[in-house]
Amino acid sequence: MTTTLYVGNLPWNTTADELGEFFGSYGHVESSRIITDRETGRSRGFGFIEVDEADASRIATELNGKDYGGRPLTVNEAKPKQM
């Protein structure tokens, strides 16, 4: 089973591969994605990673507030999208 974590306050030039590599040193990452603006294609400064359910809480605790590219990350369990 996997858990999706929200990762906010990312530098604008962060790629999904870089995000996956960074989080991969803290646990197994199933997938990573950066959310982009539909019109411009530019990063919106946040993304999501899927990690093993057993590692999710530890990863969120360890990396929330950690410096990444000169910015403190916001990491927490993703909430379902509300319609």
The pLDDT of residue 39 is above 80: yes
User: Rounded to an integer, what distance in angstroms lies between the CA atom of residue 56 and that of residue 78?
Assistant: 11
- pLDDT at res. 82: 74
- pLDDT at res. 81: 76
Find the mean pLDDT for residues 59-80. Answer: 95
Which CATH superfamily includes the segment(s) 2-77? RRM (RNA recognition motif) domain (3.30.70.330)
Burial of 13 by CB count in 10 Å (0-12 exposed, 13-18 middle, 19+ buried)? exposed
User: Rounded to an integer, what distance in angstroms lies between the CA atom of residue 3 and that of residue 15?
Assistant: 20
Find the mean pLDDT for residues 32-60. Answer: 96
Sketch the domain layout of the chain as residue ranges: 2-77
Mean pLDDT over the full length of the chain? 95
- pLDDT at res. 80: 82
User: Rounded to an integer, what distance in angstroms lies between the CA atom of residue 72 and that of residue 80?
Assistant: 24
Question: Which of 4, 37, 41 lies closest to 23, judged by CA?
Answer: 4
Considering the entire predicted model, what is its pTM? 0.93
Let me know: does 52 contact 27? Beta carbons within 8 Å.
yes
The pLDDT of residue 83 is above 80: no
Find the mean pLDDT for residues 25-41. Answer: 95
Let me know: does 37 contact 81? Beta carbons within 8 Å.
no
